[in-house]
Amino acid sequence: MEITVLGLNHKTAPLEIRERLSIPKHKAADILKRLEAERIFDERVLLSTCNRTELYGVGRNNQESVVRAKKFLSDYSNIDLADFENNLYVFKQPDSVEHLFSVASGLDSMVLGETEILGQVKDAYLEAHKIRQTGKVLNTLFQRSLKVAKNLRTHTDIGAGKVSVASVAVELAEKIFENLRNARVMIIGTGEMAGQVGKAMVSKGAKSMIVSHRHLDRAEGLAQALGGEALSYEAYEGRIKETDILITSTLAPFVLIQERQARAWMRARHEKPLFIIDIAVPRNVDAAIEKLDNVYLYNVDDLKNIADQNLALRKSQLEECFRLIHAQTQHFMGWLSKERFV
């Protein structure tokens, strides 16, 4: 009995191939049953996300199963095998085991250390388990992979911090305000980045979105997309008192918000904390504002620096993560030989 993985991912295949070979969640059960009917592996789990499609199998004659699985994928995607065979990888144990542990831990993801993949691995396993496609080996392997991923998060900094500008902004906001559901966001300007940051805040429950811009029609478009309210530029100062997070992203070639203005706002707000994110270049907010008590001002470079620092921290953990994964792989292989599957 041997564990094999056949698949492709964002590192080995371009998007055009990945999207053709992607298997939607609702089709996974059907595909697994067809693989069973064609006697491709004795146990099997299909993992398909936007960045990877992988088939984990256990069998006695895996070489033949792999050949048949490749043909199956070619038929499924309507692409000649020759057009994507070079994008495929095949790992045999113990590499296949180590690969699954790395995938579940987010070490093989496009965004290093992301956690979404853990849920996807779990769902893929449960789907296969539900329709009796897994046996003792894959059950143990996938359950172990979930434990390894959680262990890595506990013992290393692989999941520390956020690594995109929008998520860093949300993380900072969550460290200022107890709950973003009670926070109100105002966006001045309709830049793409401001929209992304605003969307990230709204996804965390930011109560209402007030979008203000010199062109009210554009503001209305963004407000609608974010489920908020549009305001004219002249009206925004009147609403500052109720704003907790202010995002500026206009093309104005001068400073829109002066220090004395912010000082007056803070008095009106009874010194309630104000988080200002200045995404505009040139900057819309006077840098002297950051010296005011209870005002937290970040510009796009500040956010990017934090994202880069977090990514560097995650990368620095890779060696330790692979060491832990290697040890866990050895441990699993020990179990496999003890159970006489090897």
Partner 1 sequence: MTTYLLLTVFFGYLAGAVLYFLSFELQSEALYRPAKLVVFGSILFHGALLPSSFIQNPHFSITTLAEYLEVVSFLMIAISFAVEWRAKTRFLLLFSLPIVLVFCFLAVLLAHQKQPAALMTHLPGWLWIHTGLILSGFTSLIVSVSSALMYLLQSAQLKSKHPGPAFLKLPSLDTLDRLHFVSLSAGVVLFSLGIASGFIWARQMKEFLEILKDPKVSLSFLTCLMYWTILSFRLSALRRGQKIAMGTVFIFIFLFITLLSSIYAPSGFHRGF
Q: Which residues bind partner 1 (CB under 8 A)?
A: 153-155, 157, 160-161, 172, 174-179, 270-273, 290, 293-294, 296, 298, 302, 305-306, 309
Q: What count of other Cβ atoms lies within 10 Å of the Cβ of residue 80?
A: 9
Cβ 288 to partner 1 shortest distance, Å: 14
Of 296 and 322, CB closest to partner 1: 296
* Whether 332 contacts 97, CB under 8 Å: yes
Report the b/e string of 263-281 with b at 16+ CB within 10 A.
eebbeebeeeebbbbbbbe
The closest of 197, 207, 195 to 243, measured between CA atoms, is 207
Of 79 and 313, CB closest to partner 1: 313
Of 276 and 336, CB closest to partner 1: 276
Cβ 301 to partner 1 shortest distance, Å: 9
Count, in order, helices (H) and strands (E) of the chain. Answer: 14, 10
Of 76 and 296, CB closest to partner 1: 296
* Whether 210 contacts 190, CB under 8 Å: no
Of 124 and 180, CB closest to partner 1: 180
On the 0-12 / 13-18 / 19+ scale of CB atoms within 10 A, 102 is buried
For residue 285, the 8-state DSSP code is B
Cβ 292 to partner 1 shortest distance, Å: 10
321 included as an active-site residue: no
> Which of these is catalytic: 14, 16, 50, 63?
50
- Please tell me the distance from the alpha carbon of residue 79 to that of residue 94, in angstroms, as a whole number: 30
Q: Would you state the structure tokens that stand for residue 17, as one six-digit string?
A: 């191939």
Cβ 294 to partner 1 shortest distance, Å: 4
Residue in the block written with tokens 């007056």: 264
Cβ 269 to partner 1 shortest distance, Å: 9
Return the active site residues. Answer: 50
